[in-house]
Chains A and B, each alone.
Chain A
Amino acid sequence: AQTVTQSQPEMSVQEAETVTLSCTYDTSESDYYLFWYKQPPSRQMILVIRQEAYKQQNATENRFSVNFQKAAKSFSLKISDSQLGDAAMYFCAYRSAPSYGKLTFGQGTILTVHP
């Protein structure tokens, strides 16, 4: 079974600075997808970014980018120019490519943004 580990229960960053959230996963599969979801205080789960394992290029979405290290099974999220609205719980998630699509989540990292 796949597992996802987020070793940082909490992180903080100053507004306009850069922060990196860590995620590691364990799998024996070669084809899969990785995601970062954001859960603000409203509790809504919002997809931030996705990465296909077969792509070597790291995904980027505006201020959000990932560092995907397939051999190390590491998938970190970098948030640049942090904004107050980035404060939330962030979840790393794994999905097998050939499976029926269930997401396996990490424990989450609470991100606080200081003005």
Chain B
Amino acid sequence: DSGVTQTPKHLITATGQRVTLRCSPRSGDLSVYWYQQSLDQGLQFLIQYYNGEERAKGNILERFSAQQFPDLHSELNLSSLELGDSALYFCASSVWRGGGEQYFGPGTRLTVT
């Protein structure tokens, strides 16, 4: 158990819908990262937050957004869902702004039908 929690574990929804994925980092970790794992794109970095502020953006679609709250949990919002958004979404956390080991949560498997 990495100490990072993600909810829900599985999510099935229809095209055009909006979902929210939630992540709670390890105790004491200020940085949260979101990654997407899909068959065709592999593991890709989406976005990073540090202590409530956005720090880095990767290949995140405009339909996707995220935020980190004062209690340091983070949410990834996916809207206008398409079939191609079906993937495993991971949250990871680390202590430092720029690094430290990243510990991954169990992931949320999103299926868009």
Binding site for B on A (CB under 8 A): 33, 37, 42-47, 50, 91, 95, 97-105, 107-108
Which single residue of chain B is at the shortest CB-CB distance from A106? B42
B98 lies within 8 A of A99 (CB): yes
Q: Which of A44, A46, A97, A105 contacts B99 (CB 8 A)?
A: A97
Show 7 residue pairs from A and B whose CB-CB distance is below 8 angstroms, ordered by the A residue: A47-B103, A95-B99, A101-B96, A103-B33, A103-B35, A105-B43, A108-B43
Chain B interface mostly: strand
Which single residue of chain B is at the shortest CB-CB distance from A47? B101
Q: How far is the CA of A42 from the CA of B109 in the complex (A)?
A: 12
Q: Which residues of A contact B88 (CB under 8 A)?
A: 43
Q: Which residues of B contact A104 (CB under 8 A)?
A: 45
Q: Which residues of B contact A95 (CB under 8 A)?
A: 99
